[in-house]
Amino acid sequence: MTHYLDNAATTAIRPAALEVMIPLLTDGYGNPSGAHRMARAANRVLDDAREAMAAALGAEPGQIVFTGGGTEADNLAVTGVVEAMGGVPVCSAIEHHAVLDPVVHHGGRVVAVDGSGRVDLDRLTAALDDRVSVVSVMMANNETGIVQPLREVVAIVRERAPRAVVHTDAVQALCWLDVAELGAGVDLLSVSAHKFGGPKGVGALVVRPGVELTPLLKGGGQERDRRGGTHNVAGIAAMAVAATETVAERAQQVSRVGALRDRLADGIRDRLDGVVESGVPGSDRSGKTANICHLCFEGIESEALLFLLEKADIMASAASSCASGAMEPSHVLAAMGFDRALAFGSLRLSLGYRSTEADVDAALATVPAAVSRLRERA
């Protein structure tokens, strides 16, 4: 039996989302930009999905821009604003590369985080001036689950860089946080369907009124000239269904999955010495999303650990990247000040709506033994 503990990377599609896709792929395949009845039917599906996504994200339907995923939504937010307004983009050092790379590409400013992984508000304040056009701080980190102080960020930006717009990457947030409430003050907000039980290759960007945005994809004028290209009607409809279900179940899943995550993290820490849990002072996980157990183990390397876990049918992630042909620790852990050797031993176990007690049992039976085995070999 496979135990899937990599839900922060992608989730299984929800049955209701898959159910709505199939007839749109087989029978209702009209192009919504057309004029005949099949096209009009497809356009009605888009309208319904737009309303559903707006309700889930705390927006108006006209503020929803459908994209090809979270990366495109993030790039559109950063590059679209810079190309429209000029100026300097700013982001935190622990952003996903879909935000970090465009900011660096446009000569932007990267703001440090503290040891807990939260953006340093004093340094953010110092980085802002009248030249800044967009500030991007994620709602929750994809590796550690650390929730960012978004309300404080918005207040600082409004005071220090009043012409700037605020973007938040909420790709990891919808399952675990009230995105509509936490994102109420931002100008741009990104989500990706496959993180909450929708299909891959579809996402959305909330664009509040008054935001100047140059489209990345120029073409047929779709999405009110903010994103050209024929709509992925089946994917968009499925995303809307998944978002609606996710929001409806969120309180229950946060409680259930949070308890599983706590049992998993506490169980591993109880069984092993030399374990550091990121962003957790003592055992207080209140500042993290409910689904992520992120640990660093002394004396091992993630690649070998993941190999042993996969042999035991446990799917997980190291939350590290390969750059320039040499394995480097995660930029998130580096920004948090983790020792390089410790960061090489990182493991992200991330749960989701389908996770069970059996998944936790399997991980508790396997991870400590695998880490001990690797330490004995060292």
Taking CA 328 as the corner, what is the angle to CA 268 and CA 319, rounded to the nearest 5 degrees? 40
Count CB-CB contacts under 10 A for residue 27: 10
Polymer length of the chain: 378
- Answer yes or no: are the C-beta atoms of 249 and 353 closer than 8 Å: yes
- The active-site residue, picked from 91, 175, 293, 322, is 322
Told to judge if 91 belongs to the known catalytic residues of this protein, a careful annotator would answer: no
> What are the Cα distances from residue 325, in Å, to 321, 322, 328?
10, 7, 9
Task: Say whether 68 sits in a helix, a strand or coil.
Answer: coil
What type of residue is 305? L
**What does the alpha-carbon distance between residue 107 and residue 110 come to, in Å, rounded to a whole number?**
10
| Cα-trace Rg, the chain | 21
CA dihedral 324, 100, 86, 148 (to 10 degrees): -170
Largest CA distance in the chain: 69
Within 13 A of 167's CA, how many CA atoms are on the CB side? 37
What type of residue is 112? A
Q: Indicate which residues carry an active-site annotation.
A: 322
